[in-house]
A and B are shown apart, each in its own frame.
Chain A
Amino acid sequence: MRTSRWQIPALLALILFLIAFPYLFTQPFLQRTMILIIMWSVLGLAWNFLGGYAGQVSFGHAIFFGLGAYTSTYLFTEYGISPWLGMIAGAVVAVIVSAIIGWPSFRLAGHYFAIATIAAGEIFAIIFRNWKTVGGAVGIYIPIVRGDKLIDFQFHDSKIGYYYIILAMLGLAALTTYALERNRIGYYLKAIREDPDAARSLGINVTLYKMYAMALSAAFTAIVGTFYAQFVLYISPNTVFALNISIQMALVAILGGTGTLAGPIIGAAVLIPMAEYTRVYLGGRAGGLHLVVYGLLIMIISVYQPGGLMAIYKQWRQKETARKMQQVTDAAAAGKEG
């Protein structure tokens, strides 16, 4: 897509707004919602590396989220290792697990992989529920460190510290996506998504590049997993290895538009406020209700607009351009006659 004249100023304005946000809006509820929107944007972008660019649908990304959360938390509570180091360790663990799941099934058609991720997701939930060393089904509470220092990855007086950390992660994920789109790997992943056999004929090692995409995807997901653990200060198999997390990651990306940079961010900006709103105003009773809506949304998007909101926007812009062109030619024709 070509950048138009107003896109760069608009982008700069958005970045400035995001940086100034916690000082413009000081209500805790708004700040919390914004943190969640950004967190899910990063998760959507992470899912997008594999699902959007390489076209490999995963329903098991909670695995990497959970591994990120558990690795840093375990290292911190047992050995006092900084969550920042634990975050890197978590990403490494997630990458290794991604290779174990991906390598066998990536050589085969897409549905083999999708099934493998569903199965693997359940396996990890079962293992962690029964693994006493890491707290079993109860999970782990993260001890509070007073001081609100960046190095501790904990903030209690205000959420602003968390806000800037997750915003930095969004910046990193967005830049990675931006670079990927302009780089050989990005082109190769798209080629694999479009037609794996054609990709092979052009010298692309299809399995290897799918593994790259999955490693990148897993690493970013795990990093956000650590962030989540530090933000909530409590993790359990039912929260971080939940199927819901896998579903919401995929949904954010497909709602906004897979295989684009803006898509997952737009998806999160639409979906998360909606989910938070229902959570707060409808309460626990409607717990299943937002999932009913998710299911409906996924079906509707798949059937009517697999390209998501971004595709709707692109179509609208094409129509606009065509309309303007028509006006110009009409005007020219009128000028000639006159």
Chain B
Amino acid sequence: MSPEVTLLVQSLVSGLLIGFVFSLLSVGLTLIFGVMDIVNFAHGEHLMLAMYLTFWMWYLWGIDPLLSLPVVAIALFILGVFTYKVLIKHVLDAPMLAQIFVTFGLMIFLRSLAQVLWSEDYRRIGDTWVSGRIEIFGIFIGLPQLVAAIGAVITTGVLYIFLKKTRTGWALEATAENKEVAGLMGIDTERMFALAWGLGLASVGVAGALLATFNPISPEVGAVFVLVTFVAVALGGFGSVPGAFVAGIIIGVVQVLGGFLWEPRFKTVLVYAIYLGVVFIRPQGLFGQR
């Protein structure tokens, strides 16, 4: 292969791998939106918390990110339920303005709190079980990225099977479909809302632990990922889990290719262009229905 082609394939592969992580993040966001029509603007900050949690467990006690992953996921699940009970529950019948503001306020709160507590410094997790890289046909694949992608696919798969095959998952989907009807069928919608927040944030927890193995950690890290997540959720169709999964991969690939063919620092501009394109051409997203 010529060097250009190798580089292109290299970009494609890394775009695909990060795309799976975007997918997992987007699935978490779209799950919450689907069940209760509320956008979690603090999604990126929840990711940031998950990454810091992973970092501190490694830094203070030397626990490997892969080991702390379940702990982070459970912690974020609890945080999700807590967020629902303390904040979200109170704005369910409030005007749109209050619904948008409540998670936006949470975003500012968490981000600036992280700045005050942990400073603006970038932190990195050093050697982990998955450090290193492998080479296939001249293409280098970072092991952390590969493991993150695999972990993201497995988590998304488990979540999907849970939604489709279990009674609770079915109740969750029924609630997303129609709250009143679900209530009449004897589903405790209140519990389903809390569960959606728990699962949504648990997905973020997994993504955070996986990302922490190779991505630098800072209070601003959520802002970088959340924009991509919003765009993926819009592209997939607000509330659609398979849509968010596919859209996450697409955006991962497009972003890396854009950085490769154009200017890396403008890749955010490209992601935004995708968002505008979706809004213009197919506002219901790839899998959404109108």
Cα-based distance from A116 to B231 in the complex (angstroms): 9
Contact of B109 among A57, A59, A299, A306 (CB under 8 A): A299
With a cutoff of 8 Å between Cβ atoms, the chain A residues found around residue B231 in the complex are 119
B113 at the interface (CB under 8 A from A): yes
Residues of chain A within 8 A of B105, CB atoms compared? 294-299, 301-302
Q: Does B265 contact A (CB under 8 A)?
A: yes
Check if A59 sits within 8 Å of B104, measured CB to CB: yes
Which residues on B sit within 8 Å (CB–CB) of A110?
96, 100
- Complex formed: what's the CA distance from A127 to B272 in Å? 13
7 A-B pairs (CB sep. < 8 Å): A110-B96, A111-B39, A120-B272, A130-B265, A287-B115, A292-B112, A306-B97
Contact indicator A116/B279 (Cβ below 8 Å): yes
Contact in complex: B276, A116 (CB < 8 Å): yes
Q: Which of A89-97, A100-108, A212-220 sits within the interface?
A: A100-108
The size class of the interface chain B forms with chain A is 35 or more
* In the complex, chain B residues whose CB is within 8 Å of the CB of A178: none
Q: Are B269 and A296 in contact (CB under 8 A)?
A: no
Question: In the complex, are the beta carbons of A292 and B272 less than 8 A apart?
Answer: no
Complex CA gap A272/B113 in Å reads 20
Known: A104-B279, A116-B279. A295 touches B98 (CB 8 A): no
Question: Are the C-beta atoms of B116 and A292 separated by less than 8 Å?
Answer: yes
Contact A57 B227 (CB under 8 A): no
Q: Which of B92-107 contact A (CB under 8 A)?
A: 94-102, 104-107
Q: Which of B95, B116, B280, B283 contacts A55 (CB 8 A)?
A: B95
- In the assembled complex, the Cα of A282 lies from the Cα of B90 at a distance in Å of 34
**B181 at interface, CB cutoff 8 A:** no
Q: Take A114-B100, A119-B230, A247-B108 as given contacts and tell me if A288 and B90 are in contact as well, using a CB distance cutoff of 8 Å.
A: no
CB closest residue in chain B, given A127? B269
- A102: min CB distance to chain B, Å: 11
Given the known A-B contacts A119-B231, A123-B269, A298-B108, are A111 and B100 also in contact in the complex, defined by CB atoms under 8 Å?
yes
Which of B90, B99, B266, B272 contacts A119, CB < 8 Å?
A: B272
Per-residue contact bits, chain A 301-319, to B (CB 8 Å; 1 contact, 0 not): 1111010000000000000
User: Inside 8 A of A30's CB, which chain B residues have their CB?
Assistant: none
B91 at interface by CB-CB < 8 Å:
yes
- For B224, give the chain A residue with the smallest CB separation: A122
Chain A residues with CB below 8 A from B100, complex form:
57, 110-111, 114
In the assembled complex, the Cα of A165 lies from the Cα of B268 at a distance in Å of: 38
Q: Mark B10-43, 1 if CB is under 8 A from A, else 0.
A: 0000000000000000000000000000010100
A104, B6: Cα distance in complex, Å? 39
Kindly identify which residue among B39, B90, B107 contacts A295, using a CB–CB cutoff of 8 Å. B107
Which B-chain residue is minimally distant from A305 (CB atoms)?
B98
- Asked if A99 lies at the interface with its beta carbon under 8 angstroms from chain B, I say no
Q: B268 near A295 (CB under 8 angstroms)?
A: no
Complex Cα–Cα for A118 and B231 (A) = 11
**Is B9 located at the chain interface by the 8 A CB criterion?**
no
Nearest CB of chain A from residue B252's CB, rounded to whole Å: 17
A258 at the interface (CB under 8 A from B): yes
User: Is there an interface contact between B94 and A302, defined as CB atoms closer than 8 Å?
Assistant: yes
Q: Which residues of B contact A123 (CB under 8 A)?
A: 268-269, 272
Given contacts A291-B108, A292-B109, contact A119 B227 (CB under 8 A): yes
B108-A295 in contact (CB<8A): yes
Instruction: Indicate if B196 sits at the interface (CB-CB under 8 A).
Output: no
CA A250 to CA B104, docked complex, whole Å? 11
- B158 adjacent to chain A (CB < 8 Å): no
B234 interfacial contact with A, CB 8 Å: yes
Cβ-defined contact, A112 with B265, below 8 A: no
A288 near B108: Cβ-Cβ < 8 Å: no
Q: For residue B113, which residues in chain A have a CB less than 8 angstroms away from its CB? A: 288, 292, 295
The residue on A at minimum CB distance from B283 is A108
A292-B116, A295-B107, A299-B105 known; A122-B268 Cβ under 8 A: yes
Check if A51 is an interface residue, CB within 8 A of chain B. yes
Distance of A298 Cα from B102 Cα, bound (Å): 7
Q: Is the CB of A295 within 8 A of B91?
A: no
Query: Which residue of chain B has its CB nearest to the CB of A115?
Result: B230
Please give, as numbers and ranges, the residues of chain B lying within 8 Å of A294 by CB-CB distance: 105, 108-109, 112
Chain B residues within 8 Å of A286, by CB: 116
Tell me if A105 and B279 are in contact (CB < 8 A).
yes
| Contact code string A280-293 (vs B, CB < 8 Å = 1, else 0) | 00000011110110
**In the complex, what's the smallest C-beta–C-beta distance from B79 to chain A, in angstroms?**
15
B87 within 8 A of A: yes
Smallest CB–CB gap between B103 and chain A, Å? 9
Asked whether A166 is an interface residue with its Cβ less than 8 Å from the other chain, the reply is no
Residues A295 and B283 in contact, CB atoms below 8 Å apart? no
B residues 26-82 touching A (CB-CB < 8 Å): 39, 41
Q: Are B227 and A118 in contact (CB under 8 A)?
A: yes
Contact call A288/B279, Cβ cutoff below 8 A: no
Give the residue name and chain of the B residue nearest to A298 (CB).
Answer: B105
Q: What CA separation (Å) do A296 and B107 show in the bound complex? A: 10
Give residues of chain A (43-57) contacting chain B, Cβ–Cβ below 8 Å: 51, 55, 57
In the complex, the answer to whether B227 meets A122 with C-beta atoms within 8 Å is yes
By a CB distance below 8 angstroms, the chain B residues around A112 are 234, 279, 283
Q: List residues of chain A with CB within 8 A of the CB of B7.
A: none
